[in-house]
Structure 1
Amino acid sequence: MSTPVKATRLLAARGARTHRKAWAAVFAALALTSLLLGSFALALSSAGLGHARVERYADAGLVVAGDQHTRFTAKPWGSDPETATAGLTERVRVPRAALGTLRDVPGVRAVVADEVFELGIEAGGKNTLATGRPWPAARLAPYGLRQGHAPRHPHEVVVGEGTARVGDRVPVRVSGTEATYRVTGVAEGPRAAAYFSAGEAHRLAGHPGSVAAIGVLADSGTSTATLRTRVRHALDEAGLRSVGRRADGDGARLRVLAGNGRGAAEFLAAAPARSGMLALLGSVSATVVLIALLVVASTVVQALRQRGHELGLLRAVGATPRQVRGAVGREVGRVAAVAGVVGAVAAVPAFLGLRALLDARGALPPGLTLPLPPWLLPAPLLTAGLTLLIARVAALIACARTGKVRPAEALREQAPGKARQITGFVLLFVGVSSAGTATLQHGEAAAAAAGAAAVVLVIGCALLGPWIAEGAMRVLGGPLRRFGGTSGRLAAANCAAAAPRSGAALTPIILVTAFITVQLSAGATMTHAAGDQARQAARADYALTAPGGLPATTLSRLEAVPGVRAATGITRGTVVLARRETGSPRLDRLPVLGATAEGLPRTLDPGVREGDLAELRPGTVAVGRDRARSMDLRPGSTVTLRFGDGVEARLRVVATYDRELALGAFLFSQEQLRRHTSSPGADRVLVAGDAEPRALRAAAPGARLEPNPAPEQLAPEDRALGEVVTVAAVGAIGAFTAIAVLSTLTLITIGRRPELSLLRLAGADRRQLRRMLGLEATATALTGLTIGTAVAALPLLAFTLSTTHSLPHLTPTQAALITLTVAATTATGTLPPARRALRGRYPGRGTH
C-alpha cells in the first residue's frame, strides 16, 4: 500500500474519532435522508406493482371488458409523436353480440354475461345502497347460496347475508324507479349485494344492447394463455368494439383480462388512482431529493467548516489537495455508509406507517391493492447508496477551496467568493421570473411554476446567506446594542464579524419556513376559496337524496308543492380534457356537475359572467371563467370533451361562470351527463322555498330530506390521497429540516467553544454569555422567519392570484406552529451545546 493512501486513511480515522460530536449531527441528517428516500422508494415501487383486487371474477379464467382508458396523441415540435393515457372512471360497456362470438371459441366451457348497477334496498327500516347483478354471474366468484334458492321469476331477489331474511318483501329502487321483490335466498360474498334473474338484471341495468362485462370459463386442459390468444383473435375477427363513439381509435378495442388484470373490470377507480398516486409520489420524491441535497450539503459543509483551520494546517505542513480531499471523503463515507443502512432499515416501518395512514383516512379507492413482496424490501438499500453519493459530493464541495489555495494561505479565514454572490443573485432573478410566470398560468401549470420559484429562491438565499446575515445585522444591530446592554453589543459584534457562520445558520431556517409555508398555504388557500365559493353559490333550502337515485318525475312533483320556488336535479360525473402543454399531449380528468337548467340560479348560483344558463341542454356546456380564459372560449364557441366513459362530444358554450373552484370547470345539463355515468339516477335534488317538510317528503317518498343542506362542492378525485401524502411529506420534511436547523446550530456552537472560553477569561460572566447567545438565536430565528416568509409569499401570491383570485391563506394555528418550531429548534441548537464552555469558574479549552 502506497504512503499517500496510508496517510489518507490515517487522517480519516483520526478525524472521525476526534470529531464525533460534529459527525453525530451529520449522521442524524444522513440517516433521516436515507429513511425518507427509502420509504418513498418503497411507496413508488408498491404503487408501480399495484392493481385492482380480484373478487367477483376470481373463478373466471378470462374477463372481456371495455377498454377503461382514453388516449390522446400529439406531435411536439421537432420530436416524434407522443401519446398520453388517462383512466376512465365510468364503465365502458361490451356489446351483447360478443356473447355469441365467445361461445364459439374452442376451449370455452361457458360464457357468463355480467351487469353491475347501483340500487337502494329497504330492509329492517334502513335504506341501504347495494350493487345489483344477475344471479348467473355469481358463479364467476364463485358465490353460492347459504339459504333458499336462486331467483326464478322477475320479482324475486337473492340478497347478501345480513340484509334481509328469506321470504321478506323488500322495496328496491333502481334509477329512480321502485318495485317490491320477494327474497328467495341469501348468498355468500359481500353483504351489500342483490342478485336478480338474468332478464330482470339486464332490464334494470338499462342498457339493452350491451353488458357490463363477460366472464369466460375454460374447458379443463385449456391453458389461460392459449384461450386468451383465441379469444383475442375471435373478437378482432368479428370486428367487435366497445359501445360508444370513442375519440382514440384503437382504444375502442375490447380488452381480454387475465390474472390480476381481471380486477380492472370490477374496481374502475383503482387504475386511475394508481396512476395519480404514482405521479404524486414522484413529484414529492423529487422534492425530497432536492431538499435532501440542500440540507445534507449544508450540514456537511458546516461540519467541515468548523475544522477549516485544521484542514488549512494540514495543507500548511505539506498535505496535498488530493490527500485532504481523500481524507475528508473517507470520513464522510464512513459516517454516510452507517447512516444510510440505519435509515434504510427504518424505511420499512416508515412505509408501513404511511400505508396505515392512507387506509385510516380512506385515501385509497376500494379495491386498490398495493403489494409489498419480500423481494422489494431491500430496495431502500439503493437509496442508502444515493445518500452516500450525496454526502461525498457535499464533502468535495466543502473542501474544494481549502484544496486549491496555497499552503501558506490555507490558515486564513476564507471569505465568500464573488462567483457565489453573482450566482445567488441570478437565482433570485430566475425565481422572481418564475413566480411572475405563474400569474399568467392556470391550475397545475401555475402550481408547478410557483413551486419551482420557491425552490430556486431558497437555493438563491442559501448562496447569499452571508450577505443576508450581514444585512440583517445592520437592521437588528442597532436595537441589540441599544436595548441589549453588554450582551446585546456582544451579540451584534459576533453576528456582524461572522457573517458566513450566521448565513449557514439561516439557510435551514429559511428552507423549513419557506417549504412548510408553501405546502400548507397552497392547499389551505384552495380549500378556503372553494369553500367560500360553495357557500356563495348555495341557494337551496332543502336537499333530497335516496339510495338508487330519484325518479325523473320527482322534479315535477316537487315543483307542484306549495311554497317551492325551484327544484334542481344534480348529477356528478367526470370528463377528460385533451390538450397540449408545450406541445406535448395531456389528458386531465376533471370532476363536473350536471344540472337541470330550470330555476338553477335559485338553487345553485354559479355566478354567471357571460351567456345564459337557461340554454343549458344536451349538446351545450357552461365553462368556468378561468378555464374559458385559458382555452380562449366564450359563449358561442365550441369545445371538444370526453365524458367519463370515453365518449367524445363537441359542445357549444352557452355561458361562463365564476365559481368553478366549487362547482367544477364545466357544467352540463343533467340529461346529457346521465347518459355517460354508471349510475343514471339523480344524485341529489335541491329545493328552494319555504315549503312544509311533510309536503316535500310526500312528493318524494323514500327520499332523505336535508334542511339547510351542505353547499354543493366538487373535489378532485385524488384529494384525500393528496392531503395524506402532503401531510406526511410536510411532517417528514419539516422534521428533517428542523433536525438540519438543530444540527447546523449545534455544530456552530460547538465550534464557538474556544471563543466562549476566551470571553469567560476576559471577564464575561455566564449570565451575560447566555443572554448573548439567546439574543443571537433570536436574531437568527427572526431573520430566517422573515426571509423564509418572503420567499414563500412571492410564489404563493403568484399562484393564488392566478388560481383563486385571493390572497394566500394560512390558519393562525399553522403559522404559530411554524414559528414555535423555528424558535424551539434555534434555541435548542444554540444554548445546550454551549453549557460546557459556560460551566465552572475556569472554563476548559473548548476543544471539539
Structure 2
Amino acid sequence: MSESSNARPRPAALLARRASRHHRKAWAAVFAALALTSLLLGSFGLALGSAGLGHARVERYSAADLVVTGDQNTRYTAKPWGSKPETATAGLTERVRVPRAALETVRRVPGVRDVVADEVFPAGVGSSDAIGRPWSAARLGSYGLRDGGPPRHASEVVVGEGTARVGGRVAVRVDGAVATYTVVGVAAGPRSAVYFTSAEARRLAGHPGSVAAVGVTAKAGTSAATLYGRVRQALDAAGLESVGQRAAGDRAGLRVLAGDGRGGAEFLAAAPARAGMLALLGSVAATVVLIALLVVSSTVVQALAQRSRELGLLRAVGATPRQLRGAVGREVGRIAAWAALAGAAGAVPAYLGLRALLGARGALPPGLELPLPPWLLPAPLVTAGLTLLIARVAALIACARAAKVRPAEALREPEPGTARRVSGLVLLFLGVSAAGTATLQDGEAAAAAAGAATVVLVIACALLGPWIAEGAMRVLGAPLRRFGGASGRLAAANCTAFARRSGAALTPIILVTAFVTVQLSAGATVTHAAGGQAREAARADYAVTAAGGLPTDALERVRDVPGVVAATRVTHGTVVLARRDTGSPRLDRLPVLGVTPGGLARTMDPGVREGDVGGLRPGAVAVGHDQARALGVRPGSTVTLRFGDGVEARLKVVATYDRELALGSFLLAREQLARHTSSLRAEADRVLVAGPAAHARALRRAAPGAEVTKDPAPERLRPEDQALGEVVTVAAVAAIGGFAVIAVLSTLSLITIGRRPELSLLRLAGAGRRQVRRMLRLEAAATALTGLVVGAAVASAPLLAFSVAFAHSLPHLAPVQAALIVLVVAATAAAGTLVPSWASLRGRYPAPAGQG
C-alpha cells in the first residue's frame, strides 16, 4: 500500500467500511458505552445549563419593578502564595436588612411611583407555621382581597384563604408571644400569610430602624431598566449599607434586584443552593468523563485484541501503522457518531427523570426555579461532540500498540512489558500515598484525597491486571484443581496461561467494585457515624416545640415543672467560616447549634474534651475537636466567625468536644445565635427536657399551644445540601454501575467470542458440553471473585483513610448494598462468559461415551 497523501485515505476508508460491517458484535459494546456517555453528559449538561439559569421564584414581589434588599453575600479576600489577591464569596441564608433611611432615598428618585416597606417574620397560627407581613406589602405581589377589608387597627389581620373566616378570631404566635386578632379580610395568594397593619408589623418584626426589603414601582413611561440605574445611583450617592457590621474589607452595600432576581429577596436559600448544585454537578460530570474514557478505551482495546490476527495479516501485506490507525479511527468515529446521537436523544428524558427525583426527595430548597427554555434543549448535541472527542482519544490510546503489531506477534498473546509493570507499581504507590494523605486532612480535603486515591489505584490495577490474575490463580488454582475435577484443571490452566486476557476481564470488575463501594460507603460512613454520635449525645426525655416560636419565658416555666431535672433551649442556625486552603481564600457555610448552657450536660452530651460548655455566653463558643485542630485553637483562644446574616464576631473558645458530626463544628450561646437568625421554624427552636418523672400534660400547661414529644429524636445537624448530594450520588452510582456493567459484559463477551476455536478444539478433543460449561462457570467465578476482592481492597484503602480522618470510625456499608454489588458483578460475569459460548457448544462433536 502506498504512503502517498492521495492514496492514504482510500485504504483507510475501505478498511473501516469492511471492518465495521464484519465486526458488528465487537463494536456493539463500544456503541453502548458511548451512547451511555452521551446520555449522561447530555443530561448533566442540561442540568448544569438549567442550574446556571436558575433563580429564586418571584411571588411576593411579582408586581414590583425593583426590590431593594441587603447584600446577601459575604466575601473574604486573601493573597495566595506567589499570586494576586483572590476573593471568595458565599451566600447568606439569614436575612440582611435594609436601613429605613433607604425609603426616603428611593422615594425621591425621578420616575418612582410608589415605595413600599416590607417586613417578613415567622409567625404561628394554631399549629401551623406562617409568615407575617404588613398589608401594604400585599400589593407588591398583586394579592387582592377575596372577602372583607384591609386591617385598620392593630388588633385586626387579613389571612390567607382557608385559614379563617371574616369576623372570626385567630391566635397568632410571634416570637413566642401569643395574641388574638380579629380577621377582617381574606386575601388571595399563599395560605400561610398573615397581614397586619404597617405599625403592628413593624412592632412584631422587632427592628424599628430597618425593613426586610423595599418594593419599588415605576411611573408610566419609565422603564424598569431606566429606573434601575437611577435607584442604583441614588443609593450609592447616599452611601447606604446593609444593617449590621460586616467583616473588615467586606463592604455590604444595598442591592437592587430586577426581573427574575427579585425572587432572591423572598427565598434566601435558593442562591446558595444553586451555587452548591453547580459545583456538585460539575464534579460528577468530570467523574463521568474520566470513567467513560477508561471504559471506552478498555472496550476498544478488547475489540482490537480479538482482531490481532487480522491486523497482523494487514501488516504482512503492507498496511502501514498510520493506515491502520486511520482505519480504526474511522471505525470508532462512525460508531461514535451514531452512539452520540442516540444518547443525545435520551438526554432530555434522563434530565427530566433527575429533576423529578430531586423534587420527590425534597433535595431542592423551596423557591428554587430551574428553567428549561426551548433553546437549551439542543445542549445534548453539544455534549455529543465531547462524546466524539472521548471516542477519538480512546481510539488513539487503543491503536498505540495494535497498529504496530507485527505479523508474528499476532499469532500469540503478547507478554506484558516491564514498562507496564513499573508504571503500575508507581501508580499503586501514588494511590496508597494519596490515601495516606487523606488521613492528615479534614472535611472536603479528605474526601478529595480519597477520591483521587481511588482513581489512581484503579488505573494501577488495570496496568497490573495480568500479574494480579496470575497471582490470583496461584491462590485459587489449587482448590480448582483439587475440587473442580477436569473442568477445574482446565479453568486453572486457562487463567494461568492467558494472564493478560484474564487481567483484561478483571479491570472492569475492579472498576465497578471500587468506585461504587467508595461512592456508597463514604456517605454511609458519615451518616452512620453521625447517627451514632447523635444517639450518644441524646439525654433528653421530652422536646417542647411551637409554631411561630416558643415564648420568651418558656425555658424558665418548663424548668419550674415538677419532675424536670434540667431544660435546654436549642436553636439551629448557620455560620460562615473564613479560612485559607493552600493559601487561597475559602468560605464554608456550616450548620451550628445555639444552646442555653445551664444544665446542658443533663439534656445533651457533646463529649467535652477540654474546657467547660457551661461557660457558653454571648461572645463565647465551643469548637469541635477536629475543627479546633484544623484552626489551631484550644480553650482560651479566639476564633472569628460570621453569622448567617454576615455579621462578624470574634469569639472566645471555652471548650472543645468530640461529637461534631452530630452537633456541628461550633456550639454557641442561644441568645447570641438567635439575634442573627431570621427564619426560625418550629423544629429549629425547641426546649429539650431531662426529667423522666415529669409529665407531658404539665409541660403543655407550662407552654400553652406547644407540642410536647416524648423520647425525641436525637439532636443532629445535617448539611444544607445533604439531600441534593444523596440524590446526585445515587445518579452517579447508577452511571458508574451502568458503565461497569457494559464494560464487564463487553470484555467477557469479546474474550469468549475470541475463544470459540479453543472451545471447539476442546470439544473435538473429547470434552463434553457439561465439562466445558462447568469450566467456563469456574473461570467466571474465579474472575468475579478476584475482581471483587481486589476491588474491595482498592476501595478499602481510601475509605479507611477517609473514615478515620473524617468520622473516626471504620468504613460502613449497608449489607444490602454490599450484597447488591456482589450479585450484579456475579450475574454480569456469568452472562458475559456463558451466553456467548452457547453457539460454540451447540454443535455436535465426537465425544467419549457418557460425556456431553
TM-score (structure 2 length as normaliser): 0.97
Tell which deviates more after alignment, 23-32 or 826-835: 23-32
Matched, 1:804 2:813: no
Are residues 1:487 and 2:491 paired? no
Partner of 2:113: 109
Q: Any unmatched runs of 5+ in structure 1?
A: 844-848
Shift of 1:384: 1.6
Report the counterpart of residue 22 of structure 1 in structure 2.
26
Q: Residues 569, 203 of structure 1: CA spacing in aligned structure 2 closer, same or farther, 3 A cutoff?
A: same
| 1:251 Cα deviation from its structure 2 partner | 3.9
Amino acid at match of 2:577: L
Cα pair 1:86 1:589 within 8 Å, conserved:
yes
Deviations 1:531-565 (A, max 9, x none): 01111111111000000100121111111111111
User: After the TM superposition, which of the residue ranges 723-732 and 107-116 deviates more from structure 2?
Assistant: 723-732
Partner of 1:452: 452
Which of 687, 690, 695 is 1:688 aligned to?
Answer: 690
Structure 1 position 417, deviation (Å): 2.1
Q: Supply the AA of the counterpart residue of 1:243.
A: V
Q: Which 10-residue stretch deviates more, 30-39 or 394-403?
A: 394-403
2:798 maps to amino acid: P
Matched position secondary structure for 1:252: coil
Residue 83 of structure 1: CA displacement? 0.9
Aligned with 1:324: secondary structure? helix
Amino acid at match of 1:777: A
Query: Is the Cα contact below 8 Å between 2:74 and 2:92 reproduced in 1?
Result: yes
Q: How does 1:145-184 map to 2 (within 5 A)?
A: 145-184=145-184
| Structure 1 residue identity aligned to 2:763 | R
Do the aligned residues in 1 keep the contact of 2:606 with 2:658 (CA within 8 Å)? yes
**How is 1:108-507 mapped onto 2 (pairs within 5 angstroms)?**
108-122=112-126, 127-247=127-247, 249=249, 251-406=251-406, 409=409, 411-507=411-507
Q: Distance in 2 between matches of 1:381 and 1:311?
A: 34
- Aligned in 2, Cα 1:679/1:401: closer, same or farther, shift over 3 Å? closer
Bigger mean CA offset, 30-39 vs 826-835: 30-39
Number of equivalences: 839
Cα separation, partners in 2 of 1:405 and 1:26, compared to 1, 3 Å? closer
How many angstroms does 1:393 deviate by?
A: 2.0
Could you tell me which amino acid in structure 1 is paired with residue 686 of structure 2? Answer: R
Whole-angstrom distance in 2 between the partners of 1:725 and 1:761: 53
> Match of 1:688, as an amino acid?
A
Q: Map Cα deviations across residues 592-644 of structure 1 (whole Å, 9 max, x no partner).
A: 00000000110011111100111100000000011001111100000000000
Residue by residue, what CA displacement relative to the aligned partner does 1:46-72 show, whole Å, maximum 9, x if unpaired? 111111111111111100000100011
The 8 Å contact of residues 120 and 205 in structure 2, kept in 1 or not, is answered as yes
Q: Does 1:79 align with 2:80?
A: no
- Structure 2 partner of 1:50: 54
Letter in 2 for 1:9: A
For residue 735 of structure 2, what is the aligned residue in structure 1?
732
TM-score by length of 1: 0.98
What is the alpha-carbon distance in structure 1 between the residues aligned to residue 201 and residue 537 of structure 2? Answer: 39
Q: Is the 8 A contact 2:122 2:680 kept in 1?
A: no
> Structure 2 matches for 1:603-752, cutoff 5 A?
603-679=603-679, 683-689=685-691, 690-752=693-755
Q: Do the aligned partners of 1:563 and 1:691 also contact (CA within 8 Å) in 2?
A: yes
Specify the SS of the correspondent of 2:346: helix
- Aligned identity (percent) is 77
Bigger mean CA deviation after superposition, 691-700 or 709-718: 691-700
Contact 1:114 1:137 in 2 (8 A): yes
CA distance in 1, matches of 2:321, 2:817: 48
* Greater mean deviation of Cα atoms: 411-420 or 312-321: 411-420
**Which residue does the alignment assign to 2:849?**
none
Query: Which residues of structure 2 form unaligned runs of 5+?
Result: 847-852
Report the alpha carbon displacement of residue 411 of structure 1 after superposing the two structures with TM. 4.5
2:810 matches 1:840: no
Which residue identity lines up with residue 260 of structure 1 in the other structure? D
Q: Deviations over 1:672-729 (max 9, x none)?
A: 0011000468710001112122211111110000011111100000001111111111
SS in 2 for 1:442: coil
**Is the alpha carbon distance of 1:409 and 1:735 closer, same or farther for their aligned partners in structure 2, counting shifts above 3 Å?**
closer
Deviations 1:771-794 (A, max 9, x none): 000000000000000000000000
**Residue 788 of structure 2: SS of its match in structure 1?**
helix
Q: CA deviation at 1:405?
A: 4.8
- Per-residue CA deviations over 1:3-32 (Å, capped at 9, x if unaligned) read 332211111111011111111111111111
| Distance 1:814-1:402 versus aligned 2 partners, 3 A rule | closer
User: Residues 312 and 405 of structure 2 are in contact (CA less than 8 Å); yes or no, is this contact kept in structure 1?
Assistant: no
Q: Which letter does structure 1 place at the counterpart of 2:484?
A: G
For residue 590 of structure 1, report the CA deviation from its aligned partner: 0.2
Q: Distance in 2 between matches of 1:494 and 1:408?
A: 22
Distance in 1 (alpha carbons) for counterparts of 2:50 and 2:463: 37
User: Which residue is equivalent to 2:850?
Assistant: none
Matching of residues 59-98 of structure 1 within 5 Å: 59-98=63-102
Alignment correspondent of 1:846: none
Q: Please tell me whether the aligned partners of residues 82 and 585 of structure 1 are also in contact (alpha carbons under 8 angstroms).
A: yes
CA distance in 1, matches of 2:798, 2:674: 40
Cα distance in structure 2, aligned partners of 1:373 and 1:502: 49
Which amino acid is the alignment partner of residue 31 of structure 1?
A
C-alpha distance in 2, partners of 1:91/1:617?
Answer: 24
After superposition, the C-alpha distances for 1:230-263 in whole angstroms (9 at most, x for unaligned) are 1111111111100000116454100000011111
- Structure-2 separation of matches of 1:486 and 1:435: 43
Q: What per-residue deviation string (whole Å, max 9, x for no partner) do you get for residues 317-342 of structure 1?
A: 11111111111111111111100110
What is the alpha-carbon distance in structure 2 between the residues aligned to residue 792 and residue 173 of structure 1? 53
Q: State the SS of the aligned residue for 1:282.
A: helix
Letter in 2 for 1:770: R
**8 Å contact kept, 1:315–1:410:** no
Paired with 1:748 and 1:30, the residues of 2 have a C-alpha distance of 20
Give 2:54's aligned amino acid: G
Structure 1 moving runs of 4+ over 4 Å:
405-412
How far, CA to CA, are the matches of 1:347 and 1:458 in structure 2?
Answer: 28
C-alpha distance in structure 2 between counterparts of 1:762 and 1:381, whole Å: 54
- The residue matched to 1:579 in structure 2 has which SS? strand
User: What is the Cα-based RMSD across aligned positions, in Å?
Assistant: 1.2
2:416 aligned counterpart, secondary structure:
coil
